[in-house]
Structure 1
Amino acid sequence: MQSSSVAEPVQRNWLIWLAALIVLLGGGFALWRLLSGGGAAPGGPPMGGAVPVTLERLQPTTLRDQASFVGTLDAEAGVVLQPEANGRITRIYVSSGDRVAAGDPIMELSADRSQAELSAALASISAAQSARDNSRSRLQALVAQRIRLEAEVKLQETEFGRTKRLVQAGAQSQQELDEVERDFSAAVASLAAAQEEIEAAQASLGQSEAFLEQSQATAEATREDLLDKTVTAPIAGVVGNIPVALGDYVQPGGTLTTITQNETLELEISVPAEQIGQIQLGMPVELLTFGAEAPVAAGALSFISPQTDAATQTVLAKAQFDNVTGVLQDNQRVDVRVTLSERLGLLVPANAITRLGGQSFVYVAADAPSPPEGQPPVAGPVALLRPVTLGAMQGNNFQILEGLTKDEEIVVTGLLNLQDGVPIAPQADATAP
């Protein structure tokens, strides 16, 4: 008796599961019949009348076969500003994002020590100039004195010769000859001493001029160092991040800021070697920021490298873009679309595509077929499910390779309420993209 009572619940559970399975199979069959148009009488409207929809007439447009890549933008010119001398930042003339011209001041560093050194160097120049001028004046005086002494020596030499002849003739005494000879020897000695003084003065003048040149060089170097304390923009462009602040002590090699010219940007693309045969110089190129649907800039391929990178097996290609809107930046990574070819064809909005069993379909507006004998005709157009072959996406549209022709009207809204052969009530016509 106990085993019989246990078998009854088991049998009841099995019957419940069998009934549920039959219900599911029946519902699936009904759903299949509904999707295939079996839920309505052939050529007849569904319950509730015609479905309101929006139609779009297909017209040929330009289809583009495109290849997608990822590229990096590089600014036409850019510099990193670094101090050329030690100093403390005492003034910052610009802010990040400012546009500057070449030569504009960017920052100023402390210059107290350099200013003192420059003042000392200028004072040294002044002293060297005075010493040089004194040596030059003394040399000029000694030269003039030598000329006078040379004349004196000639005079004494002439007097000595004349007196000597007179003494030999007995006209003058030996004592007078000795006095003239003494004066002649004194004049010669004075001339020799003057020549030595001239040579010493010339050496002194040379030293003074050398000291003056050294002082001038020191002053010039100090002046250059002083100028280095004012950092100016070497090119026109936009100021980047400024990682330093007032009061910071900086040294040569540190970064003060950057200046970048973003008016023209160069795109660099690494094209896989197996795709290099698809691209050619002059092909149109579109740039898209990540997540954007519409291109932000357009250009053309201007360079294709003749070599393949051995490490990455890619080929470098380049294109230039005018950054008119300013939305592009140096070192920015962007999506790139290269247009390989163009032709006329048909585009269908992505929201007009219906997928059933892995196949793509489009609802086409057509005249209702003749109803079976004994049934009333259907007034107005109906939606016919048409299989299509899709190509690549172009924006928010699919290229149609097969299944549709121009001037046909397709349903672009209200698809959730449609079935094959259902009457439709067009609400508005749209123009194909």
Structure 2
Amino acid sequence: MVKVPFSLSTRLIGAALIASVFTSACSNESATQEQGMPPSLVEVQQVETARVQESSEFVGALEAQERVQLRPETEGRIVSILAQPGQRVEAGTPILILKSDVNQAQVSGAAADVSAAQAAVNTARARVQAAIAERDRAAADVELQTTEYERTAQLAAEGAQSQQALDQATNRRNTAIAALRAAEDNVGVAQAELNQAQAQFDRAQADQAVARSNLSDTEINAPIAGVVGNIPVRVGDVVSTQDVLTSIIQNQVLDLNISVPIERADQLRVGLPVELVDNLGTPLVNGEISFVSPEVNTTDQAVLAKASFPNDGNLKDGQFVRARIIWESGPGILIPTSAVTRIAGQTFVYMAEPGEPSPDGQPQMIARQQPVSLGSIQGNNYQVLSGVEAGDQVITSGVLNLMDGAPIMTGPPGGPPGQPGLEQPPG
């Protein structure tokens, strides 16, 4: 006894089963033709060459490329809301206005300090000027007394003046020099006081600038251009620096993070086309891969890729979507999924072909069962690898009621019967 391998025996059994199906179908065709079974109403579609894609589907959530949460820089009460959720704004657009009594008081106090410091500077400057004037008078007096001393000394040497007159001239000169030194010291003290007053004035101005800046923080502006998100606060609410007032979302382009299995990593590249599809697989938005991570996630052995999609306003930040990466695309054959039947694991379609004329001599079409090899599903269509060619007439409706060789007539489902094998004229 010869042992047949399991896989070979399985193929032999399948072939025998298919052969029995065709034998039964042929006998059914003969019986159908002999018994004069009425033709079935079906729809027929001519097969055409279409673009076939090799793709993989992924699910994820869309993310805005830039999103900013707005928080107040200072505590305050909301007195005005100037924007609406969903409104598109430019950078710098006022969104909310806060009122802070503390900041206003700080601004007022800082302004008073600046005024006081300015007055102190003016007073110190006046003292410097007075001290300089006094020093100049003292210097002039020293010059005068020195001249007098020199004249008296000459006359005393000639015997024209007494020693007492010389002593008095010497004393006046020394007094003038001492007064000049005191005046110069006063100028130094006054200048130091002016410098101190000027420093105090500079500090007061800096404090005033900070207070004004804090006051301006009560106006919350959009830091970027985008769409205003939800505004959970209301006029009259008191908010702190930890509260989120709203968000600005830049959603002209949305990104989708995709974890691609490592087996496909060699096919990933920037610019690879990606489609967002609905539940039926119908393409909605076209995008492309904009980023491929240079490393592999060791946990799930996947490569992170980012796909970017233009947004016409229908896509939302955080929205869950189905995305299809198109690995390859080329010409091929597609047929509707409704045209496919399965028997014993084998896939078939019914082809509309000319049959024998009816007893009254009219032309007649029949359904011819054709085995096919199928590829992946694209939307509502199967890719056909073999068994069907462009130009074939494939039956797309009513296939469950057909058998090989059964007479058919074409027309819209549920419509009135047409001539066997002829399409109903448009009415």
Match of 2:375 among 375, 388, 391: 391
- Equivalent residues in 2 for 1:344-363 (5 A)? 344-363=331-350
- Equivalent residues in 2 for 1:298-337 (5 A)? 298-323=286-311, 325-337=312-324
Task: Give the aligned length.
Answer: 393
Check 1:102–1:45 CA distance in 2 against 1; reply closer, same or farther (3 A cut).
Answer: farther
**Distance across 1 between alignment mates of 2:250 and 2:280:** 25
Equivalence for 2:6 = none
1:55 Cα deviation after fit: 1.2
Match of 1:237 among 199, 221, 226: 226
CA contact (8 A) 2:341 2:349 kept: yes
Match of 1:214 among 203, 206, 217: 203
Moved more, 412-421 or 232-241: 412-421
Equivalence for 1:111 = 100
- Equivalent residues in 2 for 1:189-268 (5 A)? 189-268=178-257
Check 1:51–1:95 CA distance in 2 against 1; reply closer, same or farther (3 A cut).
Answer: same
CA contact (8 A) 1:283 1:301 kept: yes
Equivalence for 2:419 = none
1:384 Cα deviation after fit: 1.7
CA contact (8 A) 1:44 1:378 kept: no
Equivalence for 1:382 = 366
CA contact (8 A) 2:357 2:364 kept: no
Percent sequence identity is: 40
Give the gaps of 5 or more residues in structure 2.
Answer: 1-20, 413-422
Match of 1:410 among 394, 416, 421: 394
**Distance across 1 between alignment mates of 2:298 and 2:242:** 34
1:38 Cα deviation after fit: 6.0
**Distance across 2 between alignment mates of 1:84 and 1:45:** 92
**CA RMSD between the two structures:** 2.6
- Equivalent residues in 2 for 1:268-307 (5 A)? 268-289=257-278, 291-307=279-295
1:224 Cα deviation after fit: 0.9
Give the gaps of 5 or more residues in structure 1.
Answer: 1-31
**Distance across 1 between alignment mates of 2:236 and 2:35:** 81
Check 1:388–1:379 CA distance in 2 against 1; reply closer, same or farther (3 A cut).
Answer: same
Matched to 1:146, the amino acid is R
Residue 283 of structure 2 aligns to a residue whose secondary structure is: coil
Moved more, 86-95 or 99-108: 86-95
Moved more, 176-185 or 102-111: 176-185
Check 1:45–1:238 CA distance in 2 against 1; reply closer, same or farther (3 A cut).
Answer: farther
Q: Deviations over 1:275-327 (max 9, x none)?
A: 323444433211125x253222112323322321122211012232211x222
**Distance across 2 between alignment mates of 1:48 and 1:153:** 145
1:377 Cα deviation after fit: 6.8
Matched to 2:117, the amino acid is A
1:48 Cα deviation after fit: 6.5
- Equivalent residues in 2 for 1:91-130 (5 A)? 91-130=80-119
**Distance across 2 between alignment mates of 1:293 and 1:45:** 45
Matched to 1:132, the amino acid is V
Equivalence for 1:133 = 122
Matched to 2:291, the amino acid is F
